[in-house]
Structures are given as C-alpha cells and as structure tokens.
Structure 1
Amino acid sequence: MPVFRAPDAQTFETHGSRFTAYVAPSRGSRELCSWRLDVPPGLIGAPHRPSREEVLLVLAGSLEVTLDGERAQVCAGDVVLVPADAELQVDGGPAGAAAWVTTTPGLEARLPDGSTIAPPWAS
C-alpha cells in the first residue's frame, strides 16, 4: 500500500512559498500529482498559467487568489478550481495559509515573460 510519510516528502521553495511534494510520477503515481503549499502572510505571488487543471483546497488560513483577473479571498475549507491555461496568482492572507493542490502529471507553468517551468514537485 503506498503511504507517503511527512518526513519523506521533498520540499521546494520558490517565489517565497514552500511546496512539499507527496504524490508525483517520481514517487510512483501514474495519474495524479499532489503537494502541500505553504504561503507566508502578505506574500504577493507570481502570476503564472498552469498547463493542467489544478484543484486548490485551503487547509488553514486564507489566500487571495486571482484567476483570469477575478480576485477572491478563500479560507480554510474553500476549494478553487483552476482551469488549464488560466492566469493564476496566489497571495498570502494576513496570517498566511496552507493548501493542498492536486493536478495531473505533465504540469508546466508559463510565466508572464513567456518562459515555462516544469515544477519539480509535480514530476
């Protein structure tokens, strides 16, 4: 039975946030990628366009999410469905936040300058 223990998770830091990888092809998954996202208080996130749909579940705290120019505050228990190729920006709320993110393998993110990254937490 695949069980992913917290001490075994890989952690990545980028654009001021921490990404803790649990499920990904590099860890045995064929169809899903999932990670914990920790966003510090007041952080202004980097706008990007994910190439795959993402589901973002806020576990604790709050986030300011901008999706294709529409801004919303989301709190613990709220879920944001991010369509593929939508412009997404995730900013930290007053106390920061923790969220769980799920997508599918092959995720890339296009940045405003046209460059793309393949996030290592999703590979």
Structure 2
Amino acid sequence: MTLVRSDHARRVETPNAVMTTFASPTQGGSTQALWQVEMTPGALGPVHVMDAEQIWTVLAGAAAVTVDGERVDAVAGDTVVLAPGRTRQIAADPASGLTAIVTGRGADVASGPGREPTVPPWIA
C-alpha cells in the first residue's frame, strides 16, 4: 500500500490547463495515473492522440470533446471514455470552464501534429 499525501500532489501548468497528479508511476508507483484537469472558460486543448484508453469524469463546468470529428458535450457528472489511437481535442465551456478527474495508463504516450511522442509529465 502506498499513501500519496495531498501536499505531494504534482501540479503541471500548460498553456491550456493545469493538471494536478494524485498518483502515477513516479508518484506512488502505480501503473495507472490519476489526475485532475482544470481549464479556464473557453480554453482549448491541443489536437492529439493517446495510445491508451482514458476515462474523464466532469466534476464542474462542461466540455466539448471531439474524437475523430465526432463531438459530444459533457457536463458535471458525465463520464467520457476515450479509446486509444483516436484523434481528440477537449474544449472547456466558454462560460464555466472545466474541472475533470482523469485516469489512464501511467505510460500513456501523447502524439500529435508538430509534437514528438512523449509521456506527459502529469501521467508519468
């Protein structure tokens, strides 16, 4: 058993969001990663592909999730299961922003236009 204290949560800021990691391979030694995403109103995440499944649960606000051109709108309480290998983009609601909890494989590799494949630091 591993206890990751709340004051050890890792915070990573990107141009689009703030990710707070609660557990991951380098934080608690899990093979899974668990993190919170906070996006300001109207923020737009990058177009990208993940090589493993992720599960997003909206805690507050709302998101427009586009996968391979198909859009779904998720509000607080909704959960979106994102299959691996599909092009995706997350947009925070223009009025309320987005807070979500996300889980996925701890070695999940992100790739996309103009970027080298890498495991994001909030997943590692």
Per-residue CA shift, 1:9-67, capped at 9, x if unaligned? 11001132001011101122332111000011001221100111000010111011111
TM-score, normalisation: structure 2:
0.91
Percent pairwise identity: 31
Q: Which runs of 5+ in 2 are unaligned?
A: none
The one-letter code of the counterpart of 1:60 is A
**Counterpart in 1 of 2:41?**
41
Shift of 1:114: 5.3
Aligned residue pair count: 123
CA distance in 2, matches of 1:28, 1:44: 30
**Counterpart in 2 of 1:112?**
113
CA distance in 2, matches of 1:4, 1:28: 6
* Root-mean-square deviation (Å): 1.4
Superposed structure 1 runs of 4+ greater than 4 Å apart: none
TM-score, normalisation: structure 1:
0.92
CA distance in 2, matches of 1:28, 1:13: 21
Whose helix fraction is larger, Structure 1's or Structure 2's?
Answer: 1
SS of 1:7's partner is helix
Shift of 1:117: 2.4
Find out whether 1:70 has 2:76 as its counterpart. Answer: no
